[in-house]
């Protein structure tokens, strides 16, 4: 299907044309450390500068295979007890780190006026499934327990993240629903997540090439992650109690191979009586939260998402 059959924003079209001109090898044609370095380098080309905050501090917590790197963001030096946001970065469970999503985490902390704890979980292919959800669950339970090192007292948790991190935000909310942590997940906010099998969806077939995230790259990520297709920690739509899910804000991108998986999961929650705000960034591509310099209109999508999270928190505040 040609892109002229879909609505594509002008700034998105310009960015995609620039990437096509740059060319370069496919992700599966280069060593994994080069792919990771390329993702970090993309930040200077495509992403806005981080917002200044009172607190940006690296720390670690214990995990199942050693210490897990974390980064705390807060617009306030000191804060009364309240919700804490857990952020899990995207990158197909294979690339991405605390730096690739640094600017977005500052945006989230400033926009929500809440502390944000970003988690850098172990990456595939060195650490395939279920290393990522195990690390993210361990870090989230650690924050829930109000460790002294954090200097923040959580009364509830918000799980969020993009792409692979969107998947993890759902998976961790489900894990803490199945087995309670010291404080509950009060809201989940996945950003263009993968929540169910995508290969047969209309969006996967429509946007397989030419819209930033390609089917070939998705295949590389899936092969690297090597997840069990029958495990709810891979496809959270397989969970057996969706009615227990927290209030949900979910945003997809209109030109994303993963779009229909996000749509399907949001509809699934609504059918189970969960309060859901579903947003779609029409004419935008997968990955838009980290390309806001190259695609300025994506800033509006990010602000709409943050406003929806604030609205949902207000709606469910005791």
44 annotated active-site: no
135 annotated active-site: no
Query: Given CA atoms 206, 212, 214, 219 in this order, what sign does their dihedral have?
Result: negative
In the Cβ-directed half-sphere of 138, how many Cα atoms lie within 13 Å?
20
256 annotated active-site: yes
Burial 137-159 (b: 16+ CB within 10 A, else e): bbbbbbbbebeeebbbebebbbb
Of 163, 224, 245, 261, catalytic: 163
Of 74, 268, 286, 301, catalytic: 286
Contact predicate 156/186, CB 8 Å: yes
Q: What is d(CA 293, CA 44) in angstroms, rounded to the nearest whole number? A: 9
Give the chain's count of helices (H) and strands (E): 9, 8
Q: What is d(CA 167, CA 233) in angstroms, rounded to the nearest whole number? A: 8
Residue of 92, 114, 111, 91 whose CA lies nearest to 50: 111
Q: Beta partners for 156?
A: 83
Of 74, 97, 162, 256, catalytic: 256
Q: Which active-site residues does the annotation give? A: 163, 256, 286
């Amino acid at each position: 299907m040609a892109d002229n059959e879909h609505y594509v924003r002008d700034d998105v079209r310009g960015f995609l044309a620039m990437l096509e001109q740059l060319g370069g090898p496919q992700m599966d044609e280069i060593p994994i450390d080069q792919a990771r370095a390329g993702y970090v380098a993309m930040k200077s080309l495509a992403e806005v500068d981080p917002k200044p905050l009172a607190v940006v501090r690296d720390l670690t917590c214990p995990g199942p295979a050693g210490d897990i790197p974390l980064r705390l963001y807060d617009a306030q030096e000191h804060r009364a007890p309240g919700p804490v946001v857990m952020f899990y970065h995207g990158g197909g469970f294979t690339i991405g780190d605390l730096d690739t999503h640094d600017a977005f985490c500052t945006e989230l902390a400033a926009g929500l006026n809440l502390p944000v704890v970003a988690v850098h979980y172990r990456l595939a292919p060195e650490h395939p499934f279920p290393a990522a959800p195990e690390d993210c669950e361990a870090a989230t339970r650690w924050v829930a327990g109000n460790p002294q090192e954090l200097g923040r007292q959580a009364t509830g948790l918000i799980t969020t993240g993009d792409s692979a991190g969107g998947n993890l935000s759902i998976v961790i909310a489900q894990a803490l629903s199945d087995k309670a942590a010291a404080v509950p997940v009060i809201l989940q906010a996945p950003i263009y997540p993968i929540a169910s099998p995508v290969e047969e969806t209309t969006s996967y077939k429509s946007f397989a090439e030419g819209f930033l995230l390609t089917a070939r790259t998705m295949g590389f990520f899936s092969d690297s992650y090597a997840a069990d297709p029958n495990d709810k920690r891979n496809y959270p739509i397989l969970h057996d109690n969706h009615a227990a899910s927290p209030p949900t804000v979910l945003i997809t991108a209109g030109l994303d191979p993963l779009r229909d998986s996000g749509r399907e999961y949001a509809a699934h929650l609504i059918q189970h009586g969960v309060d859901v705000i579903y947003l779609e960034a029409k004419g935008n591509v997968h990955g838009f939260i980290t390309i806001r310099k190259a695609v300025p209109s994506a800033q509006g999508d990010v602000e709409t998402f943050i406003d929806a999270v604030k609205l949902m928190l207000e709606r469910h505040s005791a």
